[in-house]
Structure 1
């Protein structure tokens, strides 16, 4: 039986001594692999390197599971050259190494690298994605770099391998097409799903909203409700964002009403979506009106709210209003921008008391 790695301590990372203490960790590959996963989650590169040295000494680094997890650790910590060096030492017959590298690259934001490795897997080594789990990572990377052409090639491969029946793959296709601006293709994938779920619905709704088609998104939500797929707060916030970007205050209010009627309370993301939409369309007065309403309803602005509102801070009075409403810990994330706002208004001779918290 394996010893649990975290049992009585609140610390996520075991101490340096615990790594070499067999009372904490037995000499079994699965236990070491689990410890590497913990280090990967916490971006603990220093501890990971020490453990790698130990595993090299005792020979466990030759286990594919151990090596693949180390690849994931180094990739997640941005050490791509170290990850690749270790990756090349893993036997080429191991599918796990490809999944580890591609998945971690996509998860940690190295999207171009993920696509390059996937292409290498297909061309240089002649390996097809026999494992369906690698496909969502590839689709995620395609969406983030907006590579529609490559995404379509992956879609063809999915059909060839009969992976389209997998719900995660279908949802990945929907998100990819939506991010690439091909919401009509995303809708086709959605309509072709045998079992439509909320994740897929939210992906299509977000795609419609981002493309300025909130009415189509609302129609789909109403249709899916009749089929038993009820929207959640993510769905409603996507609709709010879509109508806010169109500066349609009437429909924004209507979505808020429908949301509450559906038993879901608006959250700070709901209000921030409205503020962001108005600011993007230079409707600063309306953005601040929504900001006041958000405060009136008892919501504390987040850093995302302030980021959305910053471009609308054209007067000292508004800067002061935001400063009074927002905790210093949130404002501190925008020190440079806030100094510019304060300085520009003071240079114009306006009276300001914009730093009551500072």
Structure 2
């Protein structure tokens, strides 16, 4: 602290003068670089520019450039580089480093291509930048170019390439690099040995990774952490724990990375409470540990606990990083908790991370899943750089919220800007076509996956096409597509077909789909219920009883459908015909009044959807008191005169009666109702729904 204080005083003194010598600037700039005092360095740069002081060579500028690059201060680096009169190879390499550290991949590639000269550092920086920013294919391609142009790879190059191979799970190429390591006699390098171990582990060759680890005589903390992480990623949490004991016996004390990996391994196999105990026992927790525990909660469906832990972390004065913020925002998205999402957005702005690629993409997803597509678009438009993840978040968000034409326009813009679509992109595009029944466009996009983009359609893409064909009345074409698939149909494909058949009343194909689903996983309740409901709608009560008996024999448990609504930052949850809420009496009174008003306007509850052999009165009660209707009534009680939309979340697909009810209600009460079900968003307004009755 004393040294930094003295440096600040020295900078103050120099900046108080109207002139200064080159030696004075040089001495202070070098001290700023040594102590990583970036703010004082910026003051010195500003003072030089104000007094029109231009160093006779590029030494000082390069020092400042490397400091800005080190901390990913992209704008500062760009501005300084643009002002430099003389640019040498060190200047260009520093700019490359700034782009790599800040994740600005497009600028990194463009700058590398326009450099007037390059050296091995240029290649290493760019290859590492691609590899470190999830662009492994670009990293490998540049490595091949580096070799063609006669530049010898260094240990840093090899580490980056092994990392890229690991990201691609490209074991064949990884083994080629292993061979070149032996030829170049790099095996004595612990960094390369660690990268090799990591590559084999991430490619699923965990035994080969362990063999390399055991041969490594100079194991360091990174070696142990990588091997523990390898076991965690290969689904062997018990071996993680065993290796942790060995690590301690060898004299290496676990650090935060070790513990975060152990926490993740426990969470991976569902032992979240055990992970929390490990987390609580570890005294010196850094941001990586906190984030690992939050992610573990979220992956096990405990998003509320993730948010509580985030607040606990803030109380401990631990500053979140981009990974923490993006994971917490994702938890808010799953809960559709706009209040918490906005609070985390505010925190990201204070931390200067709101424009980070990870955080921005998560925010787009969160606002989309809360039904605030305009806010999602604002975040997207303000992003200084984008990647395929951010494009996908915006495209899928538009498709989910009924902005299907916008989704397709975004896709065309994405292609024009030379971004390569991935599997998620086409899920969003095909979903947009599905929601609008655009069969010809959907078929064109599906065919383009292979014909134009050289990809193989995934099962998710096939499911979208099966859905699109079926919902437009082409069930036999959908069945033919399933039969001619390159993959074996999975649970998603058959459940999609069953859902279509249920909607269209095709009992023959429904029975075929249901039989496949019973074979694939006999413990999941949905196919039994759907088939039973179809039988019930046809009055085939014996078949209904047969399906229910089959469920009992397989010990299948039916999960409850429920809806929730957030009022004044508190979540209220309802099930069908729920009377557990403390304000139930008022809720039912409000709902009955609303039903009466809707009936006066022509709404008739569709009791044909009640698939039980009971009387008409019981059917009426059952259909009128579904969970989303109770949530709406509660929202109207708590927010009677508001103009803001009422937002409801439902964990399963909304039924036809509730969908019609919400359309009528939006017109009668003069308010927008936004309901998110398991399929998509429904924006009800003035008697219409954004899904055009297709969901």
TM norm structure 2: 0.41
Structure 1 position 273 matched with structure 2 position 312:
no
Aligned pair partner of 1:303 in 310, 320, 325? 325
- Residue in 2 aligned with 1:50? 82
- 1:166 Cα shift? 1.4
Q: Helix, strand or coil for the counterpart of 1:201? A: helix
Q: Helix, strand or coil for the counterpart of 1:162? A: coil
Cα distance in 1 for partners of 2:220, 2:65 equals: 34
Structure 2 gaps of 5+ residues are: 1-22, 350-358, 373-562, 566-627, 640-695
Aligned pair partner of 2:55 in 26, 33, 40? 26
- 1:310 Cα shift? 3.7
The 1:65/1:181 distance shift into structure 2, 3 A limit, reads same
Cα distance in 2 for partners of 1:66, 1:296 equals: 43
Q: Helix, strand or coil for the counterpart of 1:5? A: helix
Cα distance in 2 for partners of 1:157, 1:279 equals: 41
Aligned pair partner of 2:187 in 159, 164, 167? 164
The 1:5/1:106 distance shift into structure 2, 3 A limit, reads farther
Structure 1 position 86 matched with structure 2 position 105:
no
Q: Deviations over 1:11-44 (max 9, x none)?
A: 6546577359675x63234333223323433113
- 1:66 Cα shift? 3.8
Cα distance in 2 for partners of 1:305, 1:73 equals: 25
- 1:226 Cα shift? 0.5
Q: Deviations over 1:243-294 (max 9, x none)?
A: 111112464356347x44xxx355675465345345435xx3x554576577
Q: Deviations over 1:293-325 (max 9, x none)?
A: 7767966895245245346528xxxx49x8499
Instruction: Tell me if the contact between 1:175 and 1:203 (Cα under 8 Å) persists in the aligned partners.
Output: yes
Instruction: Tell me if the contact between 2:65 and 2:80 (Cα under 8 Å) persists in the aligned partners.
Output: yes
Bigger drift between 245-254 and 204-213 goes to: 245-254
Cα distance in 1 for partners of 2:303, 2:97 equals: 43
- Residue in 2 aligned with 1:225? 248
Cα distance in 2 for partners of 1:232, 1:81 equals: 39
RMSD: 4.1
Structure 1 position 140 matched with structure 2 position 163:
yes
Aligned pair partner of 1:329 in 325, 343, 346? 346
- Residue in 2 aligned with 1:187? 210
Instruction: Tell me if the contact between 2:329 and 2:344 (Cα under 8 Å) persists in the aligned partners.
Output: no
Q: Helix, strand or coil for the counterpart of 2:74? A: coil
The 1:149/1:98 distance shift into structure 2, 3 A limit, reads same
- Residue in 1 aligned with 2:502? none
- 1:211 Cα shift? 1.9
- Residue in 2 aligned with 1:313? 335
The 1:188/1:12 distance shift into structure 2, 3 A limit, reads farther
Instruction: Tell me if the contact between 1:111 and 1:145 (Cα under 8 Å) persists in the aligned partners.
Output: yes
Q: Deviations over 1:181-233 (max 9, x none)?
A: 33333322222211111112111212211221111111111011101011112
Cα distance in 1 for partners of 2:345, 2:158 equals: 43
Q: Helix, strand or coil for the counterpart of 2:185? A: coil
Structure of larger gyration radius = 2
- Residue in 1 aligned with 2:605? none
Matches within 5 A, 1:52-131: 52=84, 54-55=85-86, 61=87, 63-73=88-98, 77=104, 78-79=106-107, 80-86=109-115, 89-90=117-118, 94-122=119-147, 124-129=148-153, 131=154
Q: Which one has more relative contact order, counting CA pairs under 8 Å at least 6 apart?
A: 1
Cα distance in 1 for partners of 2:309, 2:365 equals: 27
Cα distance in 1 for partners of 2:273, 2:95 equals: 53
Instruction: Tell me if the contact between 1:74 and 1:83 (Cα under 8 Å) persists in the aligned partners.
Output: no
The 1:304/1:268 distance shift into structure 2, 3 A limit, reads farther
Tell me which protein shows more strand as a share of its residues.
2
Cα distance in 2 for partners of 1:20, 1:215 equals: 62
The 1:150/1:339 distance shift into structure 2, 3 A limit, reads closer
Cα distance in 2 for partners of 1:212, 1:309 equals: 24
- 1:68 Cα shift? 3.5
- Residue in 2 aligned with 1:5? 29
Aligned pair partner of 1:176 in 199, 209, 230? 199
- Residue in 2 aligned with 1:153? 176
Cα distance in 2 for partners of 1:72, 1:81 equals: 13
- Residue in 2 aligned with 1:58? none
Structure 1 gaps of 5+ residues are: 56-60
